[in-house]
Amino acid sequence: ADHEHVITVYSGSGGWKKLLNYNSPDAAYLLLLDKQGIVVWKHTGEFDKTKYDELAAKLKSLLP
């Protein structure tokens, strides 16, 4: 059910990576945007429990 809210980008991402100061070409990037398209949370790299908890809290705060 969540797949309609997820976008996976495999190529052509250079512009937004530069805009968000992501500069590690082999890293994974995870962004959370609000309904207005504003980046409200981001992470790059390997799984991190603290970052996961931040993401979960941010998601909860954005849901009705």
Question: What tens digit of pLDDT does each residue of 4-27 get?
Answer: 778 888 888 888 788 888 878 778
- Helical H segments across 3-48, by residue range: 14-19
pLDDT of residue 57: 96
pTM equals 0.74
pLDDT of residue 12: 85
Radius of gyration of the chain (CA): 12
Q: What are the pLDDT digits (tens) for 22-61?
A: 878 778 888 999 989 899 999 988 889 999 999 999 999 9
Q: How far apart are CA 63 and CA 10, in angstroms?
A: 28
Q: How far apart are CA 28 and CA 39, in angstroms?
A: 16
Q: How far apart are CA 29 and CA 43, in angstroms?
A: 6
